[in-house]
Structure 1
């Protein structure tokens, strides 16, 4: 027996005064409604309605049950409405994971506007350069710039292409010379990101589809792109970065592109999140926002 449906039927019968009126309103037969109430009485072990040839009367148990029935059904209706509104409005805490460089250099460009649009949302930011276990650490969405995502049951939504380029400080190039071919790089120290499988190895291609693989000597390695960025600006060597990490330094001349006619393999900005049949409004709101934001070219050459 569907007890909730039976309670709704009982309430409708009591308030309309007859099974016929209740059946007409519900679009069901008199027999179906009568059977529901009988099953309810059998389940409760007591008579709820006293039937006469002219009308229905609540028994003492029926009157008590009716009061509780109204209270329960109204609470159910309020809960359904509240949940419906909750599903439509982003609320609660959104746990967002990003890399340290992305968190320091990129979030400030769009996160304030996103937060302003969703005043009932709180952001909990997790900045880390390791791949976060979203399920174990209860992260809702992770924004990652990478060439390869580990195999998992997570959903990965592609947002943008991130160009990777070689750069060096003007002072470094003045002292040590500017490379004019990939082969020249073998004589220059590389500032390498130690989290990469082969931090000193560069694979390059030009517009003529010529390919070069270069092994550069290592002067400094670090597990922080921001530390490598500071080292590059400090003229310690040549380094490769996603454009968004060095865009401002290229614009003001603290860094210069090296071998601009040669390209390193690009990376991709993904939004990664757990697979779910129903996305929470807070997750959907962020995904829609970043999808629209990065649909425009945010990292132009």
Structure 2
């Protein structure tokens, strides 16, 4: 291997988190990857990684090498793409993961338009509400809603996602309309997700505070929560792209509008080594253009 290939191999190990995962991504054996990195360290005369049976820890010199290597590899990729003519027209296959409910509401019309605009791009789409491992599972781009964890990944803001508290008119007629967050203690709520204790966040006089909520059902799918709320079984808290139609035709009505927290952010997240990839950048810009008004 030449020095650039050693850089790519080292960066893949760092992004994958292990020799095994990196070897699977590269189609190589674990022993080959390990041997190449030992040879790289011998050539540089420094320790890049501290190895143990459970984990890999990067050394300060290893971190410096990783950051410099990523910059060089990105420069090389841009040069190669320019020579191949891809700076003018994106080409290749894009592996995308997106939240199920968001995708059903938006991507059904957006992705066909994107593919019509870029005829040399193909997409492989995985729809899941679980937090996928972008690097380990080999995605080029992931769409995520909400606060992102600090990481070496790159995140681009796409749009705002508004959420509302809502219930059916029948439920409110039977149980009364809560006027403040504390009133939810006397109501059946339909929270998203799982766990022993679920909290909803409210904003009062510019300050956020949390309220514990409970009910007879909780689930990690927004459409099911929406339909359960329409059936009159409780109050739910969902993005407007899930409940917009039910709000328009009156099957649901909003409550506690004065206490709603700020909108969430829809972000496009991708690895550092993909930030200059034309298909990735093309899709990010396309989504920013089409969703500029919010979701």
Q: TM-score range by the shorter chain?
A: 0.5 to 0.7
Cα distance change of structure 1 residues 212 and 277 upon mapping to structure 2, 3 Å threshold? closer
Of residues 212, 216, 220, the one that matches 1:223 is: 220
Report the secondary structure of 1:261's partner residue. Answer: helix
Displacement after TM superposition at 1:161 (Å): 2.1
Choose the corresponding residue for 2:233, options 228, 233, 236: 236
Matches of 1:81 and 1:191, distance apart in 2: 49
Distance 2:136 2:208 in 1: 41
Aligned to 1:203: 201
Count of matched residue positions in the alignment of Structure 1 and Structure 2: 216
Q: CA 1:174/1:229 → structure 2, altered by over 3 Å: closer, same or farther?
A: same
- 1:219-272: per-residue Cα shift (whole Å, max 9, x none)? 211122222122112221101112222122212222110111211343111000
What residue number does 1:113 align with? 113
C-alpha distance 116-203 of structure 1, shift in aligned 2 (>3 A): same
Identify if the C-alpha distance between structure 1 residues 197 and 139 changes in structure 2 by more than 3 Å, giving closer, same or farther. farther
State the distance in 2 between where 1:236 and 1:202 align.
18
Distance 1:171 1:102, change over 3 A: same
For the pair 1:128 / 2:147, whether they are aligned, the reply is no
**Structure (1 or 2) with the larger CA radius of gyration:** 1
In structure 1, the partner of 2:178 is 179
Counterpart check, 1:292 vs 2:289? yes
Query: For residues 140 and 262 of structure 1, what CA distance do their matches in structure 2 show?
Result: 37
- CA distance in structure 1 between the aligned counterparts of 2:163 and 2:224, rounded to whole angstroms: 17
CA RMSD, 1 decimal = 2.4
Q: Deviations over 1:161-181 (max 9, x none)?
A: 222220111221122221122
TM-score (norm 2): 0.67
CA contact (8 A) 1:203 1:265 kept: no
Counterpart contact for 1:189–1:217, Cα < 8 Å: yes
Q: Answer yes or no: is the 8 Å Cα contact 1:187–1:217 preserved in 2.
A: no
